[in-house]
Amino acid sequence: MDRNVVAAAVWSHAATVQAPKTHLPGWKKPLTGGQYKTTAGRTARAEGETSGQFLHPRRKVARNNEAPMNPTFTIQDFTEFCRTHHPAYQKPYYAMYSSWWDGITTEPNLMVIPIDDHMVHRGDGLFETFKCLNGAVYNLEAHWARLENGARKIALDFPWSREALTALLRAVLRAGGHKDALVRIFLSRGPGGHSANPYESPRPLLMILAIRLGPAFMDAHPGGANVGVSRIPNKPGLFAQVKSVNYLPNVLMKKEAVDEGVDFMLGFDADGHMTELPTENFGMVTRDRVLKVPKPDHILMGTTMKRALTLAREQLVPAGILSAVEEADVPRAELEQAAEMLVFGTSHNVTAVTRFAGRPVGDGRPGPVWRALSEVFEADLRNPAFLTPVWT
Ligand X SMILES: Cc1ncc(COP(=O)(O)O)c(C=O)c1O
Residue 244 in contact with ligand X, rule: CB under 6 A: no
Interface pattern 115-154 for ligand X (x via CB under 6 A): --------------x-------------------------
**Whether 243 is catalytic:** yes
In angstroms, give the least distance from the CB of 247 to ligand X.
Answer: 7
Question: Of the candidates 276, 285, 298, 353, which one interacts with ligand X according to CB under 6 A?
Answer: 276
Q: Does position 188 bind ligand X by CB under 6 A?
A: no
* The only residue of 169, 210, 300, 311 in contact with ligand X, by rule CB under 6 A: 300
**Binds ligand X by CB under 6 A, chosen from 345, 362, 366, 367:** 345
374 is a site residue for ligand X (CB under 6 A): no
Judged by CB, which is closer to ligand X: 250, or 286? 250
The yes or no reply on residue 303 touching ligand X (CB under 6 A) is: yes
Binding of residue 237 to ligand X (CB under 6 A): no
Segment interacting with ligand X, rule: CB under 6 A, options 48-56, 88-96, 277-285, 313-321: 277-285
Neighbours of 93 (CB within 10 A): 18
Active-site residue identified among 243, 254, 255, 292: 243
Measured from each CB, the residue nearest to ligand X is: 302
The window from 200-208, 209-217, 254-262, 275-283 that contacts ligand X (CB under 6 A) reads: 275-283
Instruction: Please choose, out of 29-37, 199-207, 343-351, 377-385, the segment that lies near ligand X by the rule CB under 6 A.
Output: 343-351
* Least Å from the CB of residue 235 to ligand X: 8
Between 93 and 239, CB nearer to ligand X: 239
Q: Which residues are catalytic?
A: 243
Return residues touching ligand X (CB under 6 A).
Answer: 129, 250, 276, 279-281, 300, 302-305, 344-346
